[in-house]
C-alpha cells in the first residue's frame, strides 16, 4: 500500500495579486519539500458540475465560472481573487480530493495528500471567501457518504483559521463530524465552542494567541481525540493548514513541525482503529514558505509511515 500525492500543474495557473499570501510559490515550495519521498504521484482530474453541486447550488457554480476574467486578476472580495486559469485550478482541487477518496476507498492506496490550490475550507454554500472558491474537503466528505455508501465521515481541520466554510456546508449533515482547531480571536471570527451543528456534529476548539505545542496537544487529547473515538469514522478527511506554524505571518499560534507530525500520527492511529486507516488530507493554508514546507513534509512523512 502506498501514499498518494495528488496534484496538478493547473493549480499553478491560479494567480493572485503581488504580495498576496496565497501564491503560486506555496505549491512550488511544498512540492520541492516532498521530492524524493515514497509517494505515488497522480494528476488531479477536473471535478464535474455534479461534484460541486453535492454541497453548492448550481447558481453559485455558474457565478464562479462566469467570474473568471479573460485577462488580469479580479477580486471577488478583499482577499479572494481569480485570474485566467483559476476556475480550472479550483475544479482540479475538488477533483483531486474526490479521486483520492475513490482510490483510498478502493484499496488502491493507503491514504492520500492532495496538494492543490486554491484551498477550500472558507468557501461557504454561496459565498467565496478567504482565498477559497469551493469547499474541497466538504465535497469529498459528501462524495464518500453519498457515492461510497459510508455512514460516518470525520473532517478534522487544524488550519489556524476556523473552517467556517466546511462548517457551513456540513452543518446539517448528521453523518459527518467536523472538528476545527483555530486561533481565536482571528479572522473570520467564527468558530466559538458554542457552535455545535444541527446534530451536535460540530466541535470547535478555539486556541488563544501564542498557544504553543503543549496547549495544542492538550486540547486535542481532551476534546478532539475522544470525540473521534466515539464517532468511529469510516473515513477521516484532514484539512491540513500549516499556518499555525510559529513562523506564519498571518496568525499567532506557535506550533512547529513536530506538532504537525504528532497530530498527523494520532489522527492516522484513530483512522486505523475505526476506518481501515483511510485518510485523505487536503492542503489548506500555510503562508511562510519554510514553515509550510517543513510542516507539510512532517505531515506527509506520517501518512507514509501509517500506510507502510
Task: Quote the CA–CA distance of 100 and 140 in Å, as a whole number.
Answer: 9
Query: Beta strand pairing status for 235-240 and 74-75?
Result: unpaired
Nearest Cα neighbor of 156 from 269, 285, 281, 31 is: 281
Locate the DSSP E strands across the chain. 3-7, 39-43, 74-75, 81-82, 111-114, 153-157, 176-183, 202-207, 235-240, 279-283
Contact 300, 37 (CB under 8 A): yes
Catalytic residue check, 56:
no
Beta bridge partners of 157: 180, 239
* CA separation, residue 22 to residues 28, 130, 280 (Å): 12, 10, 22
Q: Terminus-to-terminus CA distance in the chain, angstroms?
A: 6
What's the number of CA atoms in the CB half-sphere (13 Å) around residue 53?
A: 9
Task: Check 121, 122, 143, 162 and give the catalytic one.
Answer: 122
Cβ atoms of 270 and 233 within 8 Å: the answer is yes
Q: What is the DSSP pairing of strand 39-43 with strand 235-240?
A: unpaired
Cross-strand bridge partners of residue 238: 156, 281
Query: Which residue from 187, 230, 179, 186 is spatially nearest to 210, judged by alpha carbons?
Result: 186
Neighbours of 25 (CB within 10 A): 11
Catalytic residues: 122
Amino acid at each position: 500500500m502506498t501514499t498518494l500525492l495528488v496534484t496538478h500543474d493547473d493549480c499553478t495557473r491560479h494567480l493572485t495579486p503581488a504580495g498576496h499570501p496565497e501564491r503560486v510559490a506555496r505549491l512550488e515550495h511544498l512540492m520541492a519539500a516532498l521530492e524524493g519521498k515514497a509517494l505515488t504521484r497522480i494528476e488531479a482530474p477536473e471535478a464535474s458540475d455534479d461534484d460541486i453541486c453535492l454541497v453548492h447550488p448550481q447558481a453559485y457554480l455558474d457565478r464562479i465560472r462566469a467570474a473568471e476574467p479573460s485577462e488580469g486578476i479580479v477580486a471577488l472580495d478583499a482577499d479572494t481573487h481569480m485570474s485566467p486559469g483559476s476556475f480550472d485550478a479550483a475544479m482540479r482541487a475538488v477533483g483531486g480530493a474526490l479521486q483520492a477518496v475513490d482510490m483510498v476507498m478502493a484499496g488502491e492506496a493507503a491514504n492520500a495528500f492532495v496538494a492543490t490550490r486554491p484551498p477550500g475550507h472558507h468557501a461557504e454554500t454561496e459565498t467565496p471567501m478567504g482565498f477559497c472558491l469551493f469547499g474541497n474537503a466538504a465535497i469529498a466528505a459528501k462524495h464518500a457518504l453519498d457515492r461510497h455508501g459510508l455512514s460516518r465521515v470525520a473532517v478534522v481541520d487544524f488550519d489556524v483559521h476556523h473552517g467556517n466554510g466546511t462548517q457551513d456546508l456540513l452543518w446539517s449533515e448528521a453523518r459527518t463530524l467536523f472538528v476545527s482547531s483555530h486561533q481565536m480571536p482571528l479572522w473570520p471570527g467564527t468558530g466559538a465552542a458554542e457552535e455545535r451543528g444541527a446534530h451536535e456534529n460540530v466541535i470547535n476548539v478555539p486556541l488563544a494567541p501564542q498557544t504553543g505545542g503543549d496547549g495544542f496537544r492538550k486540547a486535542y487529547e481532551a476534546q478532539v481525540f475522544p470525540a473521534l473515538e466515539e464517532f468511529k469514522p469510516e473515513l477521516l478527511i484532514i484539512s491540513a493548514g500549516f499556518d499555525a506554524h510559529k513562523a506564519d505571518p498571518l496568525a499567532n499560534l506557535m506550533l512547529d513541525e513536530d506538532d504537525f507530525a504528532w497530530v498527523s500520527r494520532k489522527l492516522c492511529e484513530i483512522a486505523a482503529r475505526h476506518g481501515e486507516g483511510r485518510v485523505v488530507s487536503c492542503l489548506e493554508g500555510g503562508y511562510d514558505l519554510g514553515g509550510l514546507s517543513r510542516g507539510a513534509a512532517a505531515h506527509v512523512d506520517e501518512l507514509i509511515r501509517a500506510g507502510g
